[in-house]
Amino acid sequence: RKEVEQDPGPFNVPEGATVAFNCTYSNSASQSFFWYRQDCRKEPKLLMSVYSSGNEDGRFTAQLNRASQYISLLIRDSKLSDSATYLCVVNHSGTSYGKLTFGQGTILTVHP
Amino acid sequence: GAVVSQHPSRVICKSGTSVKIECRSLDFQATTMFWYRQFPKQSLMLMATSNEGSKATYEQGVEKDKFLINHASLTLSTLTVTSAHPEDSSFYICSAKREGDIQYFGAGTRLSVL
């Protein structure tokens, strides 16, 4: 089983649509969780951290379910500029130096 | 603006040559930096953790003699791909932690070995 596993995608949605991505992680001792976005041939950029209580940043909502070891990202009112690969990222405990494990990414394409 | 600077952004070299990639933290000190590699249509894979003033920690399957890491100062880590071959062609990205567990990435180096 992969340490971090995401929806395979790709997702192809019209502008204005709501889209949700899911992610599961295998290490129950994981401590920190993030969503990054990566544009084609560019470096990953932090989209948002994910907290147990759930958090929202504008059109983006992230949720964490520790019991199910499940993370989600919801994008409302999709824009063309949201087209990118979305990476689920987990920091496993016991690594004080902050080793991150990346999911394989989910490709989102928003079309007019 | 950029938090982590990576140079060069693009390298094309002949097989057998060595290539050095620099990663700098801007306006903050990074005792730990990370080096990743990403092949087309795949996610980032951690190669090694670079520790200032000590030896790097390599992930399983990564040859330490081939991928030399030096972290001589609190703002600079370098990755040298020695005797590069076509199979080393990839996108190499560094990162550094600035606060908490959040990592900021350099813009990456696209290496093409002919």
pLDDT band at B20 (very low <50, low <70, confident <90, very high): very high
Q: What is the pLDDT of residues A54-63, one digit of tens each?
A: 899 999 999 9
Please compute, for residue A62, the number of CA atoms within 13 A of its CA located in the half-sphere on the CB side. Answer: 21
pLDDT band at A98 (very low <50, low <70, confident <90, very high): low
pLDDT band at A93 (very low <50, low <70, confident <90, very high): low
| Mean of per-residue pLDDT scores for chain A | 90
Residues in chain B whose Cβ is within 8 Å of chain A: 6, 32, 34, 42-46, 49, 51, 57, 91, 93, 97, 100-108, 110
Please indicate whether, in this complex, the C-beta atoms of B105 and A101 are within 8 angstroms of each other: no
Point out the least confidently predicted range of A90-104, B5-19, B23-37, B41-55. A90-104
Nearest of A9, A14, A29, A10 to residue A99 by alpha carbon: A29
